[in-house]
Structure 1
């Protein structure tokens, strides 16, 4: 009997241990990156969800006196940790971007006399906003909670893919209100709203839409909103008047009128509440129609209470996070790792209804018959590590993202793949055509389940749209002249890399004529390299290099998010050729070393308005993505141990389990993907190649569960903060002498073992 009892105790303990390991959301802190320039949001969402329901602490580019707010850059995600008040909870947010949009359909519960303006952070009592304290704030995957101090209301948020679910616990009040603010938005522009419409279907159901002209020039979002109890009255205010007032004379639209329309509308719905009474709201979005929004709401939330919806979403997060199980040196490293995975799985976002309809780039309604359609493609950032990460741990989803890109290309009048797109819009932000390496990476690594030759044709078409961003001159001269386009040097270098990745896909598919054309184009980086000074340099249409030139300046020198000193290292398609051009290893290594140790002049920070100060180590700017491969360049010299040293230093300095723990914008998961790869011990140095460069793993063990059913284990011996150097590597028990690991090695499953040491293995 005692033996049986002991057996049951052991089984129970084992079960609890396994369950504890599976609850990986305990290691996720959505507040990481919400202070300073991480630009993450702390609210509720499911993996890749179309709804990101999160608090906004401020967003408007103009203050109450109409003066432009220079700090608007801080509010790309709508939330800053140090702010003392919350304006409300809106349903759409970018994660970690350096540009702003979204912030649709703000909801704010209030008590007391009705106020339909937000007030100010200094005087929140002048509006509907409220003070809050972090002591009463909880942020978890798919759950957010906070006490609104001024209204004595407990706010709780959770979501499904397309529905934001609110739960507000009120005090006793005869003046309880739910504000629906359609004026609100996260943006850099005044008068972003083109039109809004609200229809009161009955005393619990509201429908409508919002049309905006912001970063996305023409964007329409529809909604269906359901209350858990009937409201007893409602009304609205239109904050923009119109010259024709004949319609207004017929009805009092401001009170209990079932249709509200205008550019600047705030509506209110009024209740009486008992102490501790909960009022729930389910708010569904659709890119197509209010009917589809209502269908989304019914399909995803019908018959489920708040707690069940919350648990379902958190189960989704545990499943996604469980693709990689790690053993770390401490809990802080676990929090960093799983929060990075969380941020990596926030976008791109699902962009289609339950019935698979979505609005396309041509503004017509399309149906994603055989794939899930996605939006929010920050490709200048994410092609580098985020999409290669998807290609490794969830290639099926990455294939759907590529299918979404190909649908975008077919709907484009330019027949171009996305550059930076969201919500049926092309924003034309940043440079290059970086859908190409995402597609090439899937083709080269053998994970493509789309028509690869058709996709390659889309890449070729995109790479030959002559009127796009200096591409005509690039095709004629082999470089973008400085007197034709700004950022001429970095644009030339990015085109050359994209051309190289296209060539790799063509070679994989046996299309050698295409390969020959684009492999030649991939050497165009040499056209902007000035051998006399050893740096990339702006070149004019007549072939001469620009005379006035500063290698450390970031302003007007031909580069985007960088200077000649650090951007001259951006040749991931030909690192050996770059090293040779810069004078060989003897001259190159001191240049690379100095990047991490030099002191930048004050003018650098003045030019960037301190935006990048948080992500800088010397002149290495980790917060700007063109530098993300740089630490791995030592693998192409005789000093690979410096890659190991630099990677571990960057991991420690740029990623902390704190609200200001990100050294720059997370950029839709790119910063996080760099962390994940580098922590595991390898990195996709050049997307479109099958190889990963080895670094220095920062965990004790990791098990990757692959979609093909295999597992790939990374086992690290002698791991510590001091043992950052790799003395030996074994793959499946055999000594591994190279510095790069093939994607196919991982897909076969097995064990990659690192033996760590406190000194370099020279």
Structure 2
């Protein structure tokens, strides 16, 4: 729940009266090329295409007190500090940096709900800890609704922050404890009205105050330090109450042993990262375990140590028998992240399913989550992809309880038949979403069709065959937006005619989201065989795939909007946007499956590098990294909701998956190299593998697969 890390800067929603593109640049708060650090906040998204959070920023300083962060070009104008990467160390569950302007060594680690800071100060009578309750990521006007701070004693403070950001109704509580008493504390309030009635109308006391409330507040706590003295801070958060935050702190870090907390957390990471052990060169290992780390950052815990959390109905609930999670970027993560969890994190994924069902029960719309965060539904992106996560978990045996499985199916049906949501009514009536009704009519139609297929697989597993038939029929709706005259998916009017004036290369106003028609025409992962026939058969389909990867996309298509760059794009294949993530595997359904192997091994080194800018696009809360893990191991879940994985070309020299059931699945790779990317043969548990798939049971039952690699395709 706590994701404590440095902020090198933040971005306001507007810049000079216009939208500020740096809002997305700073979605996680940190940019490697920046030269200053503003402070350390406790909540972050990881690799999202949207910005929020950045709560409760702490910054240690020395000298004359400054409560303004200043600017990067004039760091001395505020409390921020210059730093050097030479004096910076980043590990799982540990971060260290020297704050040059204040001569302070900053260190931090965490437990699930508590951030633990350790600041080594120089000798000074003017040592400060600043608590900025104004700071945050994605600071558009009036994001802060209210903040409150109460001084409990000379070493403990508590409070909360209410925000109206991407999550529109969000309150986060905190408890903050110092290992040393502060001798003075104070605040500055930046609200338009400096004093708000009651106590403050009588006393208006800015130093040594007992409590303070307002929209825009920065507080400070003063110490006298000796050379090398360590000021430690435990900072706990809660979605429920200040008392909940304090209980989280006392439960998870009762003492002040920083190294123990750090080492305990790092041992947890060692345990998780050893769930897949690979062989390979240093670059491969750095890429692989960075990806493993990324996949385990989100979704995030969202409940107190006692199980209480605030639901989407804004009431307090208690998670009985499961851990409640949030940060569900489902448009991204249903594709590979949750399928990966079904292999290496089944208990966590089962808890995520329970969290989604709790969301459904509490939702006033009675829908499963679309993109949920902090007890809020953000309604971001298209599709209702939680159904694919639920289906995949049941089909693969992560969820075995029949009552839970049937409850999941009922929730899927209710979500997929909610006629008032995003064109579902029109989709049900027409078999597609008319162009007049939605600016993303085609992509939503295609994504709904896939989701419907996954619901059908769940229904089949539960032998509810009437539901299976209904949703299998709906899953063929992707065909309704294919125009055989032009060979592309394209916007269709309510009267059944295709919209005129269509450019399959453009992304603007053509019925698609984060992709163009060239990409989305290939989006029927539930039915590749029929898609190939729809598009004219094997030869034409293969030429289409070849062209996608090799065409030279004209510059004008990158200039349509500030948000479109060449990052993550190979030809017209867009790896940085998830709708293309299954595309390279589609050759497996043609007579040239070796091209899947070739494309995978081309994509891996181009889109993933062990550098500060090594990802070809946002990580999207782990989906990009999950693609890397699967693809480098040699197989991929083309259609979540199926128990089959499509084989590719392993880029590791070998791997062992250590399963929670005590078994192991070993991947042997013979003669793998940068040139030997073609699979000559595969042997599964001693028997030749004649097809291009392996099953989930093949993995979970333990055993081994051996890939024999060569430089020429077969």
Give the TM-score category using the shorter length.
Answer: over 0.9
- Of 56, 65, 73, which residue of structure 1 is paired with 2:24? 73
Q: CA deviation at 1:701?
A: 1.0
Q: CA deviation at 1:253?
A: 2.7
Output the CA distance in 2 between the equivalents of 1:627 and 1:86.
36
Output the CA distance in 2 between the equivalents of 1:246 and 1:557.
54
1:529-568 Cα deviation digits (max 9, x unpaired): 1111010000111111110111000111000000011110
Does structure 1 conserve the Cα–Cα contact (< 8 Å) formed by 2:185 and 2:219? yes
Output the CA distance in 1 between the equivalents of 2:13 and 2:533.
51
Does structure 2 conserve the Cα–Cα contact (< 8 Å) formed by 1:348 and 1:377? yes
Aligned to 2:595: 642
- Of 453, 459, 469, which residue of structure 1 is paired with 2:412? 459
Aligned to 1:115: 66
Aligned to 1:195: 146
1:276-334 Cα deviation digits (max 9, x unpaired): 11100000010000101001001111135110000000000000001111111x11100
- Of 217, 223, 247, which residue of structure 2 is paired with 1:295? 247
Determine helix, strand or coil for the equivalent of 1:307: helix
Output the CA distance in 1 between the equivalents of 2:343 and 2:549.
30
Residues 326-365 of structure 1 mapped to structure 2, 5 A cutoff: 326-328=278-280, 330-365=281-316
- When the two structures are superposed, what TM-score results if normalisation uses the length of structure 2? 0.98
Output the CA distance in 1 between the equivalents of 2:12 and 2:494.
39
Q: CA deviation at 1:189?
A: 1.9
Output the CA distance in 2 between the equivalents of 1:304 and 1:726.
54
Does structure 1 conserve the Cα–Cα contact (< 8 Å) formed by 2:195 and 2:204? no
Does structure 1 conserve the Cα–Cα contact (< 8 Å) formed by 2:13 and 2:139? no
Determine helix, strand or coil for the equivalent of 2:552: coil
**1:448 counterpart = 2:387:** no
Aligned to 1:323: 275
How many pairs were matched up? 711
Residues 37-186 of structure 1 mapped to structure 2, 5 A cutoff: 50-61=1-12, 69-186=20-137
- Of 213, 221, 229, which residue of structure 2 is paired with 1:261? 213
Determine helix, strand or coil for the equivalent of 1:201: strand
Aligned to 1:389: 340
- Structure 1 residues 520-529 or 300-309, which shifts more? 300-309
Residues 182-331 of structure 1 mapped to structure 2, 5 A cutoff: 182-187=133-138, 189-242=140-193, 246-247=197-198, 248-328=200-280, 330-331=281-282
- Structure 1 residues 354-363 or 596-605, which shifts more? 596-605
1:671-720 Cα deviation digits (max 9, x unpaired): 00000000100000000001000000011111111122211000001111
Q: CA deviation at 1:190?
A: 2.0
Cα distance change of structure 1 residues 131 and 166 upon mapping to structure 2, 3 Å threshold = same
Determine helix, strand or coil for the equivalent of 1:138: strand
Output the CA distance in 2 between the equivalents of 1:734 and 1:608.
53
Aligned to 2:656: 703
Determine helix, strand or coil for the equivalent of 1:613: coil
Does structure 1 conserve the Cα–Cα contact (< 8 Å) formed by 2:367 and 2:415? yes
Output the CA distance in 2 between the equivalents of 1:693 and 1:62.
42
Does structure 2 conserve the Cα–Cα contact (< 8 Å) formed by 1:233 and 1:271? yes
Output the CA distance in 1 between the equivalents of 2:196 and 2:562.
46
Gaps of 5+ in 2: none
Aligned to 1:591: 544
Output the CA distance in 2 between the equivalents of 1:759 and 1:52.
46
Q: CA deviation at 1:447?
A: 2.0
Does structure 2 conserve the Cα–Cα contact (< 8 Å) formed by 1:399 and 1:449? no
1:591-615 Cα deviation digits (max 9, x unpaired): 1001111111112211242544110
**1:582 counterpart = 2:535:** yes
Gaps of 5+ in 1: 1-49
Does structure 2 conserve the Cα–Cα contact (< 8 Å) formed by 1:612 and 1:664? no
Output the CA distance in 1 between the equivalents of 2:103 and 2:17.
31
Output the CA distance in 2 between the equivalents of 1:608 and 1:590.
29
Output the CA distance in 2 between the equivalents of 1:274 and 1:66.
47
Determine helix, strand or coil for the equivalent of 2:219: strand
1:43-67 Cα deviation digits (max 9, x unpaired): xxxxxxx000000111131689777
Does structure 2 conserve the Cα–Cα contact (< 8 Å) formed by 1:470 and 1:484? yes
Aligned to 1:750: 703
Compare relative contact order (CA 8 Å, sep 6+) and give the higher one, 1 or 2: 1
Output the CA distance in 1 between the equivalents of 2:640 and 2:201.
63
Q: CA deviation at 1:569?
A: 0.5
Q: CA deviation at 1:113?
A: 0.8
1:639-682 Cα deviation digits (max 9, x unpaired): 01000000011101000010010000000000000000001000
- Of 469, 472, 483, which residue of structure 1 is paired with 2:425? 472
Q: CA deviation at 1:378?
A: 0.3
Determine helix, strand or coil for the equivalent of 1:108: strand
* Aligned Cα root-mean-square deviation (Å): 1.2
Determine helix, strand or coil for the equivalent of 2:559: helix
Determine helix, strand or coil for the equivalent of 2:313: coil
Residues 322-721 of structure 1 mapped to structure 2, 5 A cutoff: 322-328=274-280, 330-450=281-401, 451-609=404-562, 611-721=564-674
Determine helix, strand or coil for the equivalent of 2:107: strand
Aligned to 1:727: 680
Output the CA distance in 2 between the equivalents of 1:706 and 1:63.
48
- When the two structures are superposed, what TM-score results if normalisation uses the length of structure 1? 0.92
Determine helix, strand or coil for the equivalent of 1:211: strand
Q: CA deviation at 1:517?
A: 0.2
- Structure 1 residues 347-356 or 598-607, which shifts more? 598-607
Output the CA distance in 2 between the equivalents of 1:383 and 1:157.
32
Does structure 2 conserve the Cα–Cα contact (< 8 Å) formed by 1:438 and 1:688? yes
Cα distance change of structure 1 residues 469 and 719 upon mapping to structure 2, 3 Å threshold = same
Does structure 1 conserve the Cα–Cα contact (< 8 Å) formed by 2:11 and 2:22? no
1:22-77 Cα deviation digits (max 9, x unpaired): xxxxxxxxxxxxxxxxxxxxxxxxxxxx0000001111316897775332210000
Does structure 1 conserve the Cα–Cα contact (< 8 Å) formed by 2:8 and 2:37? yes
Does structure 1 conserve the Cα–Cα contact (< 8 Å) formed by 2:372 and 2:378? yes
Does structure 2 conserve the Cα–Cα contact (< 8 Å) formed by 1:61 and 1:70? no
Output the CA distance in 1 between the equivalents of 2:221 and 2:3.
23
Cα distance change of structure 1 residues 62 and 359 upon mapping to structure 2, 3 Å threshold = closer
Determine helix, strand or coil for the equivalent of 2:73: coil
Determine helix, strand or coil for the equivalent of 2:341: helix
Determine helix, strand or coil for the equivalent of 1:671: helix
Output the CA distance in 2 between the equivalents of 1:102 and 1:82.
22
Q: CA deviation at 1:143?
A: 0.4
Determine helix, strand or coil for the equivalent of 2:661: coil
Output the CA distance in 2 between the equivalents of 1:726 and 1:60.
48
